[in-house]
Amino acid sequence: MPALPFYPDQASTFAGEVDALYTFLILLSIVFGAGIALALVVFAVKYRRRGPDDRPELIHGSMALELAWSLGPLVIVMGIFVWSAALYYRIQRAPKNAMEIHVVGKRWMWKIQHMTGQREINELHVPIGAPVRLTITSEDVIHSFFVPAFRVKTDAVPGRYTSLWFEARQTGRFHLFCAEYCGTKHSGMIGSVVVMEPAAFQEWLAGGPSLSPAAEGEKLFQSLACITCHRADSGARGPSLEGLFGRPVALSDGGTAVATPEYIRESILTPSAKVVAGYQPVMPTFQGQVTEEQILHIIEYLKTLRPAPAAAIPVPPAGAPSPAARPQPKSSPKP
């Protein structure tokens, strides 16, 4: 359906569907609003009091009328519910193959990190025709990531990871807003989403010298000395993190947790909240030492740690590197 002039560009795959639902709601409101206003005027004239002794006739109800005004609206609102719930679920569930991008809101800017290492501020470059999933958080207060042309908006909440996905279907530059009042420069927390042809996007991506988030995370893992306790050998003070991501973890209080990004973030900032079974609560907090972006980097690094093959742990062959000296995935020997 063609865009009405008061809608922004329909630049994502579900923009048209959101607009169709919205248009339906507006038309329905107009039909009922106008109908009721009209009936009000007609009845006021038709049933006006015609003299001092004019009395209305007594009415004893009508089953047909009761059914009509109960069932009619029921069908209409249930229709709206089913239609909008179906659309809501599609908007909420990102496809598995979606391209991952990290977004951190901070007074008063949007910091964006691509998985190839490219970083940008207040600009988001994406390819046309490919699903993109944003993982969003905030470094301070609640912000809201809003791209009107895509009909998507998700809050950036401190201490939580939210997500949003879209598939752009039109190249160009589109508004990006913060849609949650976040302080004096809230109105300046704006930027743009640039939708590019896939080839141009690949070229743009290649233009960045930065390390990938996983590589950044690995560097942090070394520099923050996480590696001294989180080793794969049995004498380690902390649990091994290999193959951890996405797995259930037994806790010392008898419960279980799943190693989600939220769990990993909590374990870095509040290590005593969920202590892994068999370990002492000896880990210090890293609150104030790592930014939200760095936590996301560490999570990306942990995602890359595959479980070590069972046989490799107990008896390393003579001359082989110890289990603690993990192979560096991206490094190549210097010429």
Minimum CB–partner distance for residue 159 and ligand CUA (Å): 16
Q: Which two tokens stand for residue 68?
A: 């009509």
Q: CA separation (Å) from 198 to 50, 177, 195, 203?
A: 75, 24, 9, 9
Instruction: Assess 181 for contact with ligand CUA (CB under 6 A).
Output: yes
**Least distance (Å) from ligand CUA to the CB of residue 144?**
7
Smallest gap from residue 123 Cβ to ligand CUA (A): 16
Q: What are the tokens at 253?
A: 């209080």
Report if residue 293 touches ligand CUA, rule: CB under 6 A. no
Decide whether 189 or 276 has the Cβ nearer to ligand CUA: 189
> What is the x/- site pattern for ligand CUA, positions 67-106, by CB under 6 A?
--------------------------------------x-
Q: If binding is defined by CB under 6 A, does position 143 make contact with ligand CUA?
A: yes
Q: Minimum distance between the CB of residue 302 and ligand CUA, rounded to whole angstroms?
A: 29
Task: Please select the residue that binds ligand CUA; options are 90, 186, 219, 326, rule is CB under 6 A.
Answer: 186
Please, what is the minimum distance in Å from the beta carbon of residue 158 to ligand CUA?
Answer: 12
Question: What are the C-alpha distances in Å from 173 to residues 78, 126, 128, 150?
Answer: 38, 10, 12, 12
| Closest by CA position to 56, among listed 46, 69, 65 | 46
Among 126, 182, 195, 268, binds ligand CUA (CB under 6 A): 182
Cβ atoms within 10 Å, residue 325: 10
Residue 53 CA, chain-centre distance (Å), reads 68
Q: Residue 69: is the preceding peptide bond cis (ω within 30°)?
A: no
Least distance in angstroms from the C-beta of 111 to ligand CUA: 12
Q: What count of Cα atoms within 13 Å lies in the side-chain half-sphere of residue 181?
A: 1
Query: Site size for ligand CUA, by CB under 6 A?
Result: 9
- 189 lies in the binding site for ligand CUA (CB under 6 A): yes
31/38 Cα distance (integer angstroms):
10
Residues that bind ligand CUA (CB under 6 A): 105, 108, 143, 178, 180-182, 186, 189
